[in-house]
Amino acid sequence: MQNVGKSVTRVDAYDKITGRAKYTDDLCDNRSALVLRIVRSTIAHGYVKSIDASEAEKVPGFVKIFTCFDVPEIDFATAGHPYSPDPSHQDTADRRILNRHVRYYGDDIAVIVAENEIAAAQAARKVKVEYEELPFVLDAQEAMKPDAPVIHCELFQSNVLKHTDVRIGNYAEAIKEPGLICVDKWYDTQTVQHCHIENFICYAYEEAGKVVVVSSTQIPHIVRRITGQALGEPWGNIRIIKPYIGGGFGNKQDALYEPLTAWVCRKMGGRLVKIDVSREETFVNNRVRHAIRYHIISWVKPDGTFVARKLECFSDQGGYASHGHSIVAKGLGAFAKMFPCPNVEADAYTVYTNKPVGGAMRGYGMPQASFAFDCATEDIATALGIDSLELRRRTLMPKGFKDGFFKTEQYYDSYNQCLDRATAYIDYEKKHKEYAHQTGDIRKGVGVGTFWYNTGVWPISLECSSCRMVLNQDGTIQVQVGETEIGQGADTAYSQMAADVVGLKDYRDVHIVSNQDTDITPFGLGAYASRQTYMVGFSVTQTGKLLKKKILDYAHEMTRMPVDILDVVDSNIVRKGDGRVLVSLAQLATTAFYDTVHCDHLTAESTYQIKSNAYSFGCCAAEVEVDIPLCRVQVKKIINVHDCGNLINPALAEAQVHGGQSMGIGYALSERLIFDPKTGRVLNNNLLDYKLSTAMDHPHLEAQFVENPEPTNPFGTKSLGEPPACTVAQAIRNAVLNATGVAVNDLPLHPQNLYKRFCEEGLIKDPWQKEE
């Protein structure tokens, strides 16, 4: 491994730092583009009765309006999952390109086509919509009640999109054991948004009879399928091109407005049309992280041994299914794996509400679940008066744990290795005791949090990656994969891996084709499930070996040395025995291209279907300072330690962790979408009122790694993209508990929340509280 494992410079660093890199809007011919603006519902639930665009049509620059009465009568699903020919594995098709039955405040009911953004916005405002209003519901458990309005009455009898359960042992019998202590708690997580830098944007035009959509998406091949389905067109008629994108974090793992834009393009005779979604729309009309509520009842022995546990999860899906139940189900499945217990009764419900749509977001349900699970461990330790770190070490998935479903196991003592590193860094054990009984206005605390995460989606869904490699005349290679660079540095990791597989001296001799184009790019599923480096590891290795074989066969022809004694090392063809360079790869390539006796364009392409999964582990430790009167928490020190297998590029891995820590700090302390209970409208749909965590809110972000080689993967690597976001909130919550003795069970721990809790616990006195 000459390139893998080194912190080499990103292949896109120069272009991105200089501002030269082209993103969707840079590529759009804005001189000729018509712009789209969506007319949005101003009620949370009901039917559109009529739409009057007579005033909108008078706006100079208005071109056309299409409404929910014009769209194809095709229900489609927007989720970025691989398709399954098995209907029972297909996503819920519960929406149309524009919706007549509106399910949340802001739903898409019409679209203005105009000559410019201003005309589009003005015209959209002048559209008059008449509704038949229906009752609405904004809470998952409320929505499960028999009298709740049924939001998708066309498809379901209730608002429960899906319910699944896990049963291990016999919970009801087990809890009868005498001497058990019962800890019964509710934990609640809020709705947050991804807040990637580049809002969703796409444009569409016709070319050679196809509709081409250039889109800021994580999943071009999947968007091709969904767009074809939504338009009712053969999928080959759809071409999706993905340029560099300014982040996604899962929000762009749905087909957001590609179907709409493609459809309008068709309706406009193939004219170039563009939609550039505003930040306000990004908050409300893209996807959000599911607010999930957990109820955990733990029956434990006095020494902390878990005897029986019950889990209930209520996931707030919002108005449409999107990724739906799979998000809460991930946590459901993790519960008995992360903390094995002989008797478990666990149930998860995904419930439609009249709110913005929950979708994929970095962590895919695990930030919520890990928060609840780890708080529960802390709360059990508190109830028993035992050491919570010690309790974690005893109850977390042990080395040797085998998972029959995922067909993987805990090969190492990962949790203890990670916890050792993290707690040492913040001097946890000493400080945790020291901080236990503080008084005064400013108090300190330390806490830890843990997570588990898998890699990719097998065996739940298809996992595959295809790769094409081409030898250039100068001995460099072109590499194409369907797995997308979305800002995380994936292209660099692929280049490093490809260089090592083929035997190139330098990863810069790999020309990675960064942009995916579904007409050209080998089929790959895109950026999600922290799958990319793991999956591409397989396809790059397989394809690189195919290319290398072709190279060596050609070298055999050139040198008449037996192919078995030849190798490609440092971009040269060498004899294995003595390492003698026989011919450079560049010379071989030039000959292969131009030899009049035997010319061959040496390329390789193959699909690797992956039927394995890998577990990542890790933890976070944080030290906080709590200002009791101001109800304010400051993170003073934070460390994440990850076992994500071997690192392909340590600097990129570290950057990935930093991003996740920042996201986790925001999740813990400040971020949430606020809904007006009277209308269902989002009240803070902008970056002024939505308190995104920024560098101002961070201490130094420490990232460390335990590199346990993953045995299933050619490069020994496993998931790292999402895990860093899964473990911060519980560490901070537990640190606040250590500092103040107050367990806060709902996120975020922002001043309003702490004020309420500190009042309840008597740390401060509520001046408005009535004397009794």
B/e letters for 525-545, b = 16+ CB within 10 Å, e = fewer, are bbbbbbbbbbbbbbbbbbbbe
Measured from the CB atom, the residue of 597 and 695 that comes closer to a copy of itself is 597
- Minimum CB separation of residue 334 from a copy of itself in Å reads 22
Measured in degrees and rounded to the nearest 5, phi and psi for residue 291 equal: -80, 120
CA 99 to chain centre: 26
Contact between 506 and a copy of itself by CB under 8 A: the answer reads no
- Minimum CB separation of residue 240 from a copy of itself in Å reads 12
Measured from the CB atom, the residue of 42 and 461 that comes closer to a copy of itself is 461
Taking the alpha carbons of 404, 407, 409, 411 in that order, is the dihedral positive or negative? positive
Which of these, 295, 373, 297, lies nearest to 333 by C-alpha position?
Answer: 373
618 and 641 Cβ atoms separated by less than 8 Å: yes
Q: Exactly one of 116, 158, 416, 461 binds a copy of itself (CB under 8 A); which one? A: 461
Q: Which residues pair with 163 in a beta bridge?
A: 349
3-state class of 265 per DSSP? helix
- Minimum CB separation of residue 206 from a copy of itself in Å reads 7
Measured from the CB atom, the residue of 22 and 399 that comes closer to a copy of itself is 22
Taking the C-alpha atoms of residue 652 and residue 111, their distance in angstroms, rounded to an integer, is: 41
* Footprint of a copy of itself on 400-459 (CB under 8 A): 459
Number of residues that bind a copy of itself (CB under 8 A): 63
Helix H, strand E, coil C: the string for 196-262 is CCCCCEEEEEEECCEEEEEECCCCHHHHHHHHHHHHCCCHHHEEEEECECCCCCCHHHECCCHHHHH
Contact between 594 and a copy of itself by CB under 8 A: the answer reads yes
Contact between 764 and a copy of itself by CB under 8 A: the answer reads no
* Footprint of a copy of itself on 80-139 (CB under 8 A): 82-85
Measured from the CB atom, the residue of 127 and 464 that comes closer to a copy of itself is 464
User: Cα torsion at 704, 532, 223, 191 (round to 10°)?
Assistant: -20
- Minimum CB separation of residue 537 from a copy of itself in Å reads 17
B/e letters for 86-112, b = 16+ CB within 10 Å, e = fewer, are eeeeebbbbbbbbbbbbbbbbbbbbbb
Contact between 462 and a copy of itself by CB under 8 A: the answer reads yes
Contact between 596 and a copy of itself by CB under 8 A: the answer reads yes
Q: Which stretch binds a copy of itself (CB under 8 A): 49-57, 228-236, 329-337, 567-575?
A: 228-236
Measured from the CB atom, the residue of 62 and 83 that comes closer to a copy of itself is 83
Measured from the CB atom, the residue of 463 and 654 that comes closer to a copy of itself is 463
- Minimum CB separation of residue 584 from a copy of itself in Å reads 12
- Minimum CB separation of residue 83 from a copy of itself in Å reads 5
Q: Exactly one of 6, 100, 185, 511 binds a copy of itself (CB under 8 A); which one? A: 511
Measured from the CB atom, the residue of 19 and 179 that comes closer to a copy of itself is 19
* Footprint of a copy of itself on 168-227 (CB under 8 A): 206-210, 225
Contact between 554 and a copy of itself by CB under 8 A: the answer reads no
* Footprint of a copy of itself on 274-333 (CB under 8 A): none
CA angle 135, 138, 140 (to 5 degrees): 115
User: Listing from the earlier edge strand, what are the strands of the sheet with 291-300?
Assistant: 160-168, 343-352, 306-318, 291-300, 181-188
Contact between 590 and a copy of itself by CB under 8 A: the answer reads yes
- Minimum CB separation of residue 412 from a copy of itself in Å reads 29
Q: Which stretch binds a copy of itself (CB under 8 A): 44-52, 599-607, 613-621, 622-630?
A: 599-607
Measured from the CB atom, the residue of 386 and 558 that comes closer to a copy of itself is 558
Taking the C-alpha atoms of residue 567 and residue 549, their distance in angstroms, rounded to an integer, is: 9
User: Cα torsion at 720, 721, 723, 725 (round to 10°)?
Assistant: 140
B/e letters for 710-733, b = 16+ CB within 10 Å, e = fewer, are bebbbbbbbbbbbbbbbbbbbbbb
- Minimum CB separation of residue 225 from a copy of itself in Å reads 7
Measured from the CB atom, the residue of 533 and 539 that comes closer to a copy of itself is 539
Contact between 599 and a copy of itself by CB under 8 A: the answer reads yes
* Footprint of a copy of itself on 52-91 (CB under 8 A): 82-85
Q: Exactly one of 464, 619, 682, 744 binds a copy of itself (CB under 8 A); which one? A: 464
Start-to-end CA span in the chain (Å): 73
Cα–Cα distances (Å) from 364 to 255, 457, 462, 695, in that order, read 17, 11, 17, 24
Q: Exactly one of 50, 609, 686, 694 binds a copy of itself (CB under 8 A); which one? A: 609
3-state class of 561 per DSSP? coil
Helix H, strand E, coil C: the string for 402-468 is EECCCCEECCCCHHHHHHHHHHHHCCHHHHHHHHHHCCCCEEEEEEEEEEEECCCCCCCCCCEEEEE
- Minimum CB separation of residue 478 from a copy of itself in Å reads 6
Q: Which stretch binds a copy of itself (CB under 8 A): 561-569, 573-581, 583-591, 663-671?
A: 583-591
Contact between 583 and a copy of itself by CB under 8 A: the answer reads no
DSSP assignment of 643-672 equals E-BS-S-HHHHHHHHHHHHHHHHHHHHT--
Q: Exactly one of 5, 15, 401, 681 binds a copy of itself (CB under 8 A); which one? A: 15
Measured from the CB atom, the residue of 123 and 240 that comes closer to a copy of itself is 240
- Minimum CB separation of residue 569 from a copy of itself in Å reads 19
Cα–Cα distances (Å) from 471 to 468, 475, 599, 697, 750, in that order, read 10, 6, 13, 48, 55
Contact between 683 and a copy of itself by CB under 8 A: the answer reads no
DSSP state of 696: G
Interface residues with a copy of itself (CB under 8 A) are: 11-12, 14-15, 18, 20, 22, 26, 29, 82-85, 206-210, 225, 228, 234-237, 270, 459, 461-462, 464, 466, 468, 472-476, 478, 480, 508-509, 511-514, 519-520, 522-523, 586, 590-591, 593-596, 598-601, 603, 605, 607, 609
